[in-house]
């Protein structure tokens, strides 16, 4: 099934790959970004909207005509959150609940909130020190998503890499990590798109990682 997808944060990292893969699969895609010119894609089923996803008026202007929203918003390599996801969800969730669409796929990170119990000790140390600001923001955003009435899926992958291939992966609500597992952004983008039409993922947080480094319950 093809969809009309609004990608938030589609001009960098996993978002950029999500846009490219979605177009390759026949979806119609809109990327909302403060700097849409950074995504140099020319495709008849692709358009951009320039704007800040933390502004309600921008979100309300972008939502009509779409049946899925995929959020790949994040701070990139920066270690200070500036409450980005909390501010964006404050604008996005009420607008979607009022105007639609109902389907939201939200990219977060492995070990956020109470899911840190599934992480190895070395990962937990990173979450609580150098990544503390980012993870606190993601935790607030996840809580807001959970409390919404939307048909949401949260995807929490392990450490991301820029390896180009779509790799084998395992996804589950309870998934223990061993050591410091990694997964390619291409794999995460592929999984985000697969979630759209998978009813088994609705209103669930799916932890995502490589089979060789993960153990399911």
Domain boundaries defined on the chain: 4-216
Token pair belonging to 144: 């807001």
In sequence order, the 6+-apart residues with CB closer than 8 A to the CB of 16 are 10, 39
Residue 104's closest CA among 138, 52, 67?
Answer: 67
69 in Cβ contact with 8 (< 8 Å): yes
pLDDT for res 39: 75
Tell me how far apart the alpha carbons of residues 53 and 10 are, in angstroms, rounded to a whole number: 11
Residue 140: the pLDDT is: 97
Q: What is the pLDDT of residue 74?
A: 84
Architecture of domain 4-216: 3-Layer(aba) Sandwich (3.40)
pLDDT < 50: residue spans in the chain: none
DSSP one-letter code for 43: -
Would you state the pLDDT for residue 12? Answer: 81
pLDDT of residue 101: 98
Among left, alpha and beta (phi > 0; psi -120 to 50; other), residue 76 is left
Task: Look up tokens 């200070």; give the residue.
Answer: 80
156 in Cβ contact with 105 (< 8 Å): no
Q: What is the reported pLDDT for 77?
A: 63
CB 212 within 8 A of CB 192: no
pTM higher than 0.85:
yes
Helices (H) and strands (E) in the chain, counts: 6, 12
Tokens of residue 50, six digits: 């320039």
**Residues paired with 173 in a beta bridge:** none
Structure token digits, residue 104? 């939201």
Candidates 209, 210, 204; CA nearest to 105 is 204
- Mapping DSSP onto H, E and C, the string for 56-114 reads HHHHHHHCCCCCEEEECCCCCCCCCCCCHHHHHHHHHHHHHHHHCCCEEEEECCCCCHH
pLDDT of residue 86: 96
At residue 79, the pLDDT reads: 61
Tokens encoding 118: 């599934």
Residue 75: per-residue pLDDT:
67
């Amino acid at each position: 099934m093809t969809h009309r997808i609004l990608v938030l944060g589609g001009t960098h990292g996993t978002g950029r790959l999500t846009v490219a893969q979605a177009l390759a699969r026949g979806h119609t895609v809109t990327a909302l970004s403060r700097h849409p010119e950074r995504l140099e894609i020319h495709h008849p089923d692709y358009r951009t909207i320039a704007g800040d996803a933390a502004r309600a008026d921008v979100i309300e202007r972008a939502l009509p005509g779409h049946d899925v929203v995929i959020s790949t918003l994040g701070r990139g390599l920066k270690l200070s959150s500036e409450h980005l996801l909390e501010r964006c969800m404050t604008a996005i969730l009420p607008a979607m609940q009022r105007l639609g669409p109902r389907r939201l796929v939200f990219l977060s990170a492995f070990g956020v909130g109470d899911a840190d119990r599934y992480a190895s000790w070395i990962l937990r140390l990173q979450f609580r020190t150098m990544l503390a600001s980012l993870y606190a923001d993601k935790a607030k955003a996840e809580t807001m998503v959970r409390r919404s009435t939307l048909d949401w899926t949260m995807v929490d992958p392990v450490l991301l890499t820029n390896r180009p291939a779509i790799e084998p992966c395992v996804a589950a609500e309870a998934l223990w990590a061993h050591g410091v597992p990694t997964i390619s952004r291409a794999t995460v983008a592929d999984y985000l798109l697969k979630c759209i039409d998978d009813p088994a993922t609705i209103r669930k947080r799916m932890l995502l990682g490589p089979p060789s480094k993960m153990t399911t319950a």
